[in-house]
Amino acid sequence: MKRWITILLTLAMALTLAACSGEEDKEGNENLPEEPPAQGGEDISQEEDSSREDERDRPLYVFAGGQLVGSWEDGAWISAVPLGEQENGAFVSAGDSETRDFTVAEILAQEGYYAYTQDSGETYLIQCELYTTSDGPGGFDWDLRDTAALLDDYAVFVPKQEWEQRTFALPTILEGEVAELLVPNYSFTFAFGGTLPDLTLSRPLEETPFYAREVGSDDPYWEMAETALRELGVEGDFCLTAAMTGQADEQVLVINSAYDEGGYLPEDTEQIFSLVLWVNSDGEVETVYQRVEPYTGDVTSMFRIFTQCVGDLNGDGTPEICLRDGRWEWGYYYVMARDQDGTWQRVLQANYGT
């Protein structure tokens, strides 16, 4: 009996000591194991935020149709070519964009390029294409044989005729003289990746951009286009496209003179016009681009505006509009951005054609 009493007393003392030890652990937390960090905890999110900030700090290089139109860096737009002046009744307000030279090396030294088009998708800029001289048809003023010589080590295709187009596959890291090669700023002579999709960027967008769709006379925006033309005193048949903006019930409308199946204006045309409008959710209209001219019958004086895409390129919450300004055998790419006072301005530009 005494033996059982001794055993029970021993067990009671052990339990008491264990309880006291547990209380000390709760109060002092001296002997508790460290809790594992929760999945997706603060440390991980901080790293992701830091990575995103680093990405936003890097220049954003912008291509339209394979042509470098410029960049967004240090909170400013940098255009590939000077923005020029208003011409022939065109309302293409030029913003405060700066201009600088871009090197082939900096353009290629990217992890990858993201291409957006009607079908979406991703691609990489691994090639450039170059017309070296103006000795062939057309007789235009350029000679890029010295430029081609710097790239010969990377040639994929060199044609027999010197004036024909050459293709080069360039590495992401270039050294020596070729690393300082400037991107030619006239796109007929030089293009990255051939004919790339509507928009190509050195980092992905948060949201896929929107593209224009054709609009018929039964669409509610058709009457709005008619009203806008009447206010300008413009008469004549027109074509209309519309693109969403990513903001609720807001649209970008592009209005052009109507062309025939051969791409020519009718002989009785009196005015030629292009108009780009931003329509907000209240139906209020802002003019993004406007050009109206008398038509004299000269087919080479034609012009049309096309929507490349609508998307927030610089991440400021307001979409930019990328336009292609098509002329007879030449034209421009524009990026239009809304200024702080609400005015739409041309902030990036590239030249293309002959």
The tens place of each residue's pLDDT in the chain, 354 residues long, gives: 434 334 333 434 443 434 444 444 434 433 333 433 333 334 445 555 555 555 667 899 999 988 899 999 999 999 988 886 545 444 455 666 788 899 988 988 888 888 898 876 666 666 788 888 876 555 566 788 888 888 889 998 888 887 888 888 888 888 889 888 888 766 556 777 666 678 999 999 999 999 999 999 999 899 999 999 999 899 889 999 999 998 888 999 999 999 888 888 988 888 999 999 999 989 899 999 999 999 988 888 889 999 999 999 999 999 999 999 988 878 889 999 998 888 898 999 988 765
The reply to whether 240 and 346 lie within a common domain is yes
* Residue 27: Cβ-neighbour burial (10 angstroms; 0-12, 13-18, 19+): exposed
Domain end point (choices 179, 201, 223): 201
Backbone phi, then psi, for 10, in 5-degree steps?
Answer: -65, -45
The reply to whether 59 and 191 lie within a common domain is yes
The reply to whether 148 and 223 lie within a common domain is no
The reply to whether 188 and 286 lie within a common domain is no
Q: Which two tokens stand for residue 15?
A: 């339990």
Domain count for the chain, please give it.
2
For residue 93, give the nearest of 339, 284, 303 by alpha carbon: 339
Amino acid at 111: E
The reply to whether 235 and 196 lie within a common domain is no
